[in-house]
Chains A and B, each alone.
Chain A
Amino acid sequence: MEKWKSNVDFRIRLAMQSSEPDPWVVNGILTSYEVSEFNPVKFIGQGLGAMGFAHE
């Protein structure tokens, strides 16, 4: 089972186990998603950098 929200987001249902006497069991939902947010610190840093106030 899987569900897509965008190119980079996905969810996949895994219910599997290895074929060993003492198996590894993976049973659950793996989710991967991208979070985009406005970062005011980065915004101010970019602004200062553009004005020549910030130097490495």
Chain B
Amino acid sequence: MQSSRHRIQLFLFALLAALFSGCVSEQHGEFRGNIARGLPGTNNPSVQPCYWEVGWRNAVTADALVEFGVPQGFIVLVHSRQKYENSYYRLSNDAISAVYFYEGKLPIEGKEFLAQDVTARDRVEGMHHL
């Protein structure tokens, strides 16, 4: 009796392991709206895929960032590392301290960017504090 229950448990475990080994998880992102230089309303809202989603966190810095790549550049959210970790790795409104739009083809170097003070961050070429 004990042996047959054990076999069933083993079979179920093997079945679940096999099924989960074939599961794929992928992160998707999109931006619905306008991202443009100039006055609002000059472009029609559209859905744009986020090609990149890059996060930067370091145990020694108070700030962290996450950037989302769209065809025009990157939306960069600077946030409090501690608040993000305290919220079980969720972003929340009170954790976000600054939003930037970065005109670049590649993501910014998060470690270098976060090592600078707020004034210096605003002066980074191609970086626009929103």
Contact = CB atoms under 8 A, between A and B. Distances in A.
B28 A34 contact: yes
Contacts of B27: 8, 32-35
Chain B residues touching A, majority SS = strand
A42 B31 CA distance: 30
B91 A28 contact: no
Contact of B99 (A4, A14, A29, A43): A14
Contact of A12 (B26, B30, B91): B91
Interface residues of A, number: 36
Interface stretch (B3-11, B16-24, B107-115): B16-24
Nearest to A2: B93
A28 B19 contact: no
A46 B14 CA distance: 13
A27 B33 contact: yes
B130 interface: yes
Interface of B: 18-19, 21-40, 45, 50, 53, 68, 75, 77, 88-93, 99, 101, 103, 128-130
Interface of A: 2, 4, 7-8, 10, 12, 14, 16-20, 22-40, 42-44, 46-47
5 contacts: A20-B128, A32-B50, A32-B53, A44-B22, A47-B18
